[in-house]
A and B are shown apart, each in its own frame.
Chain A
Amino acid sequence: MAHEIELMTAGNMWKVLVKPGDAVKAGDTLFIMEVMKMEVPHEAPADGTVSAVNISEGEEGLDAGFVAVVID
């Protein structure tokens, strides 16, 4: 079952920690956004393999709700 990890907030993409093909465990940090000088980490909801990464480090002005990473 695929998990779509959506951005929890508007903001910038500070760090992207995974690429397609990576194996991840539930709780692993996939990427960290920055808004209001605060870090907003996004974690994998379940074990799986990253099948898509639709964001890149340094990207600015992202919208909340955007599907950033897909885990199969």
Chain B
Amino acid sequence: MLEVIKSGLETSIQDWPGRQGYLKCGFPWSGPMDHWSFRLANVLVGNAPGTAGLECQFIGPSLRFTADAVFALTGADMQAKLDGVPVPTWESVAAKAGQVLEMTFPKVGARAYFAIAGGIENEVFFGSRATFNKGGLGGMGGHSIKVGQTLPVGTGGNGVAGRRVKPEARPVFVTDKRWNVEVCAGPNDDWIDEAGQQRFLTTDWKLSSKSDRGGFRLEGPEWTFTDKAHNKLPEHGSDPANIVDHGYPLGAINLAGQTPIILVNDWPDGGGFINPYTVPGCAFWKLGQSKPGEIYHFQQISVTEAQAAARRITALCTESSIETL
């Protein structure tokens, strides 16, 4: 078990790929944003890659181990210390009962992932342990972890300390605050005119601090539209970006009027605005590790290329990426 001493900014239990199967009930999948780092944390401690663990955001939690355990931290380095001794990231580490793991903030990246051998065993809600904090689904009583809670840990773990992810198998976070983010055209790219498409792909978009697990708001120039956006039936709505309410893919760049919002893990799965582009799964680790004020430059790739890139990441989230110290 893990006792929560400090909760961090918003730390939540997530599993991967999250709570799938209920989009038609309005349930987002949730799950970890940087699923590359998350899965490798599980592989390090001998768990199946999708096992429930913690996503820590911007300010990390402090946890006390009530039993001996093997854990791993991946993603952004939040300067973790175990009883005051610095803990390496991307390695499996042994903890003894009573030891306290403290984290602060990352200098590079934004989100850290904590996996423990045996996995976190909070209550399953509609097939998943993942948390949709704002909506009150899953996690601990529907929400992110709180001070004083005890997080249950599975006893079937098979953890060995002293394992490390090979450096070449890890995502590398930018240090110059500029991200190149892959994007696929569609579903509604035909609502944006040629100039608008060029503008989108050549602009340095700034990530707003009004961004969270529901959506990443981007700041930049105005969008311009094709005829079908201006001349349409009244039931679509009066704004050129309005459409008769339709489904929103995970990763869609949803154009709320003139504000593009990238729909991330706790996303609203339908509504009345168009989605001219979609960020594919292979780029989500970049979204998960970026900070407000950083710049996104979008690079268009095909659906096939995006699928191949996702496969490459999945292939890296396996035992073949692990070396013994």
In the complex, are there CB atoms of A and B closer than 8 Å? yes
Residues of chain A having any CB pair with chain B under 8 Å: 8-12, 34-38, 40, 60-65
B210 CB contacts on chain A under 8 angstroms: 34, 37
Q: Which residues 273-325 of B have a CB within 8 angstroms of A?
A: 291-294
Q: Which of chain B's residues has its CB closest to A7's CB?
A: B105
User: Please, how many angstroms separate the alpha-carbon atoms of A64 and B10 in the complex?
Assistant: 16
Q: Contacting B293 at CB < 8 Å: which of A12, A37, A64, A65?
A: A12
* Contact call A40/B292, Cβ cutoff below 8 A: no
Query: At the interface, yes or no: B66 with Cβ under 8 Å from chain A?
Result: no
Query: At the interface, yes or no: B212 with Cβ under 8 Å from chain A?
Result: yes
Q: Which of chain A's residues has its CB closest to B215's CB?
A: A37
Q: Which of chain A's residues has its CB closest to B209's CB?
A: A12
Q: Contacting A61 at CB < 8 Å: which of B106, B211, B291?
A: B291
* Contact call B294/A61, Cβ cutoff below 8 A: yes
* Contact call B293/A9, Cβ cutoff below 8 A: no
Query: At the interface, yes or no: B228 with Cβ under 8 Å from chain A?
Result: no
Beyond the given A9-B59, A11-B291, A36-B10, please list 7 additional residue pairs across the A-B interface where CB-CB is below 8 A.
Answer: A8-B104, A11-B209, A35-B58, A35-B209, A37-B211, A38-B10, A60-B209
User: Please, how many angstroms separate the alpha-carbon atoms of A30 and B9 in the complex?
Assistant: 18
* Contact call A36/B57, Cβ cutoff below 8 A: yes
Most buried by A among B177, B213, B291, B294: B291
User: Please, how many angstroms separate the alpha-carbon atoms of A46 and B59 in the complex?
Assistant: 22
* Contact call A61/B293, Cβ cutoff below 8 A: yes
* Contact call B291/A38, Cβ cutoff below 8 A: no
| A-contact bits for B53-71, CB 8 A (1 contact / 0 none) | 0000111000000000000
Residues of chain B having any CB pair with chain A under 8 Å: 9-10, 57-59, 104-107, 110, 177, 206, 209-213, 291-294
Q: Contacting A9 at CB < 8 Å: which of B105, B212, B294?
A: B105
User: Please, how many angstroms separate the alpha-carbon atoms of A65 and B59 in the complex?
Assistant: 11
* Contact call A64/B209, Cβ cutoff below 8 A: no
B104 CB contacts on chain A under 8 angstroms: 8, 64
User: Please, how many angstroms separate the alpha-carbon atoms of A63 and B209 in the complex?
Assistant: 12
* Contact call B293/A38, Cβ cutoff below 8 A: no
Q: How far is the CB of A27 from chain B (nearest CB, A)?
A: 18
B105 CB contacts on chain A under 8 angstroms: 8-10, 64-65
User: Please, how many angstroms separate the alpha-carbon atoms of A4 and B57 in the complex?
Assistant: 24
A38 CB contacts on chain B under 8 angstroms: 9-10, 212
* Contact call B58/A37, Cβ cutoff below 8 A: no
User: Please, how many angstroms separate the alpha-carbon atoms of A40 and B213 in the complex?
Assistant: 17
3 tightest A-B contacts by CB? Answer: A61-B293, A64-B105, A12-B209
* Contact call A65/B107, Cβ cutoff below 8 A: yes
User: Please, how many angstroms separate the alpha-carbon atoms of A38 and B292 in the complex?
Assistant: 12
User: Please, how many angstroms separate the alpha-carbon atoms of A40 and B10 in the complex?
Assistant: 11
User: Please, how many angstroms separate the alpha-carbon atoms of A11 and B207 in the complex?
Assistant: 10
Known: A11-B58, A35-B209. A62 touches B9 (CB 8 A): no
User: Please, how many angstroms separate the alpha-carbon atoms of A13 and B110 in the complex?
Assistant: 17
Known: A61-B177, A64-B106, A65-B105. A36 touches B294 (CB 8 A): no
Q: Which of chain B's residues has its CB closest to A37's CB?
A: B212
User: Please, how many angstroms separate the alpha-carbon atoms of A10 and B108 in the complex?
Assistant: 10
B106 CB contacts on chain A under 8 angstroms: 64
B58 CB contacts on chain A under 8 angstroms: 9-11, 35-36, 64
Q: Which of chain A's residues has its CB closest to B59's CB?
A: A9
